[in-house]
């Protein structure tokens, strides 16, 4: 055999099958997931922010690692990892999101500035800049920039909702001038979207005090003494009929001990009464996260929601 740079099409297939060996047939559409970790997307002051990027690929897709251009254009699912707005363990859902990547989505997990270094709404602004970075680098990662979803769990769900509520493309908050941060839909997994009720976080005994998660993200403020700040943080208090917002899909466990399921119910009711497209699924018996949120049934719902959003856009 000649030694030279072969193309896949030109390379001769091995056919001298030894006696007793077996051949496994393939189609070239068998899909795996390529993981690119800690991809820098922004530097804000002394803080560097990263993305975890999962790219599905198969032999027929022509994927080339670290290429400047990919030969495909897939929808992108941007996921904000929850952390009570504190430092994130951004790798927590890599394997779960790989299940969605296997369905043909490029998945990117967002690191935001945590409450120890930046107050709300910095986290939502970071999520929007992550969307901009991915859209600007769409060709490099194989992303279809017209098909993007913003999602997140817990405080990440809150961040995803606010990422859809803030519209700051033409302000200094945009690190990528001229690149839109708008998305086709929002998926909120058990988001800490409301802090108004005293039992909105059933396991947080210092609820709304300066050292609570919600107090810290509002600049170490006592939200009980400043109810206007609690309303500012709570998503449902900032939605009316004129609000520009993509369709929303909500999941919440009925036994969530960290974020009261009623908070998602309040958000859902507000979305419906103000005329915004929204779907709400209660995951029976589920606590604050867990494998119940990544079953085939749930992934089917997410996939269908995303494709419906893309068709509307």
Q: Give the pLDDT confidence of 84-138 residue by residue, as tens digits.
A: 999 999 999 999 999 999 999 999 999 999 999 999 999 999 999 999 999 999 9
Q: Residues of 301-311 as b/e, b for ≥16 C-beta within 10 angstroms?
A: bbbebbebbbe
State the average pLDDT for the chain: 97
The token pair at 294 is 């990544």
Q: Residues of 89-101 as b/e, b for ≥16 C-beta within 10 angstroms?
A: ebeebbebbbbbb
Cβ pair 124, 166 in contact under 8 A: yes
Q: What pLDDT is attached to residue 219?
A: 97
What are the φ and ψ backbone dihedral angles of 242, each rounded to 5 degrees?
Answer: -90, -5
Q: What pLDDT is attached to residue 12?
A: 94
What is the rounded distance in angstroms from the CA atom of residue 60 to the CA atom of residue 305?
27
What residue spans define the domains of the chain? 34-312
Q: Which CATH number fits domain 34-312: 3.40.50.300, 3.40.30.10, 3.30.390.50, 3.40.50.1820?
A: 3.40.50.1820
Q: What pLDDT is attached to residue 313?
A: 76
What is the rounded distance in angstroms from the CA atom of residue 213 to the CA atom of residue 141?
35
Q: What pLDDT is attached to residue 183?
A: 98
From the list 168, 155, 160, the residue with the least C-alpha distance to 184 is 160
267 CB-near residues (< 8 Å, 6+ apart)? 161, 188, 191, 193, 194, 235, 236, 250
Q: What pLDDT is attached to residue 263?
A: 97
The token pair at 92 is 């927590």
Question: In DSSP terms, which residues pair with 252 in a beta bridge?
Answer: 282
Q: What pLDDT is attached to residue 311?
A: 96
Q: 279, exposed or middle or buried, with CB in 10 Å at 0-12, 13-18, 19+? A: middle
The token pair at 201 is 């976080």
Asked if omega into 121 is within 30° of 0 (cis), the reply is yes
From the list 166, 50, 181, the residue with the least C-alpha distance to 108 is 50
Give Cα separations from 291 to 15, 213, 285, 298 (angstroms).
Answer: 44, 25, 12, 10
Q: Helix axis angle, 94-101 relative to 296-312, nearest 10°?
A: 60
Give Cα separations from 189 to 89, 161, 209, 233 (angstroms).
Answer: 17, 10, 25, 17
Cβ pair 151, 186 in contact under 8 A: yes
Containing 101, the helix (H) or strand (E) segment is helix 94-101
What are the φ and ψ backbone dihedral angles of 186, each rounded to 5 degrees?
Answer: -130, 130
How many residues belong to the chain?
313
What are the φ and ψ backbone dihedral angles of 140, each rounded to 5 degrees?
Answer: -65, -40
Q: What pLDDT is attached to residue 222?
A: 97
> What is the three-class DSSP state of 287?
coil
Q: What pLDDT is attached to residue 292?
A: 98
List the chain residues with pLDDT less than 50. Answer: none
Handedness of CA 195, 196, 198, 202 (dihedral sign): negative
């Amino acid at each position: 055999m000649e030694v030279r740079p072969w193309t896949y099409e030109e390379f001769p297939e091995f056919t001298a099958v030894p006696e007793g060996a077996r051949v496994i047939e393939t189609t070239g559409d068998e899909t795996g997931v390529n993981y690119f970790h800690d991809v820098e997307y922004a530097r804000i002051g002394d803080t560097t922010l990263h993305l975890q990027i999962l790219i599905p690929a198969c032999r027929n897709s022509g994927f080339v690692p670290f290429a400047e251009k990919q030969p495909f254009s897939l929808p992108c699912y941007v996921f904000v990892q929850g952390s009570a707005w504190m430092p994130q363990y951004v790798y927590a859902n890599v394997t779960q999101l790989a299940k969605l990547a296997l369905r043909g989505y490029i998945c990117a997990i967002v690191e935001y500035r945590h409450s120890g270094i930046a107050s709300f709404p910095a986290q939502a602004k970071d999520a929007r800049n992550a969307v901009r970075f991915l859209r600007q680098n769409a060709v490099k990662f194989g992303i279809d920039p017209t098909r993007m979803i913003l999602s997140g769990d817990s405080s990440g769900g809150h961040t995803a909702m606010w990422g859809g509520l803030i519209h700051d493309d033409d302000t200094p908050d945009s690190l990528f001038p001229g690149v839109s941060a708008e998305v086709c839909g929002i998926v909120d997994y058990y988001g800490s979207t409301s802090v108004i009720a005293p039992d909105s976080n059933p396991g947080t005994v210092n609820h709304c005090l300066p050292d609570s998660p919600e107090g810290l993200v509002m600049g170490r403020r006592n939200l009980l003494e400043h109810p206007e700040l609690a309303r500012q943080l709570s998503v449902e208090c900032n939605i009316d009929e004129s609000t520009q917002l993509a369709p929303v899909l909500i999941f919440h466990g009925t036994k969530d001990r960290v974020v009261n399921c009623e908070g998602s119910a309040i958000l859902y009711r507000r979305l419906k009464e103000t005329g915004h497209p929204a779907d709400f699924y209660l995951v029976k018996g589920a606590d604050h996260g867990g494998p119940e949120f990544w079953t085939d049934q749930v992934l089917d719902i997410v996939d269908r929601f995303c494709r419906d959003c893309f068709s509307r856009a």
